[in-house]
Amino acid sequence: MLRVDPEGILAIIFIFGGGTLFLLAVSPVGKALADRIRHGNRQLGPGTEPEVLQELDHLRQDVTELQERLDFAERLLAQKQPAAGLGAGEDSR
C-alpha cells in the first residue's frame, strides 16, 4: 500500500503554487490585474468626449435596427409556406 506524506504534498503545492503566482505577478496579465485593483473600474464620466458618445448612440441605433430585421426574418421563416411542387409540365421539345 502506498503511503502519502501530507507534508510532502504541502511542500509540492507551495513550490508550484508560489512559482505560478510569481509568474502571474510579473506577466502583463498580472500587471493589468494589479492596476485594476489599484485604480478600480474606470467608467465613462463627465469628461468623456462627445464624439465617443455620439458614436456609441449611433452603434446602439444600428443594433436596434438589426434586432428588428432579425425579428422580421424569423417571423417570415416561421410562417408555413406551401411547398412549391412541380406542375404537370409541358414537353420542351
pLDDT of residue 18: 87
pLDDT of residue 60: 95
Instruction: Identify whether the C-beta of residue 21 lies closer than 8 Å to the C-beta of residue 15.
Output: no
pLDDT of residue 92: 57
User: Which residue's C-alpha cell is 510569481?
Assistant: 22
The structure's pTM equals 0.38
pLDDT of residue 22: 85
pLDDT of residue 70: 92
Q: Which residues of the chain have pLDDT under 50?
A: none
Rounded Cα distance between 87 and 93, Å, is: 17
pLDDT of residue 35: 86
Q: Which three cell numbers stand for residue 50?
A: 462627445
Q: How many CB atoms are closer than 10 A to CB 30?
A: 14
pLDDT of residue 82: 64
Phi, then psi, of 22 in degrees rounded to 5: -65, -45
pLDDT of residue 43: 62
Dump the DSSP string for 28-92.
HHHHHHHHHHHH------TT--HHHHHHHHHHHHHHHHHHHHHHHHHHHHHS--------S----
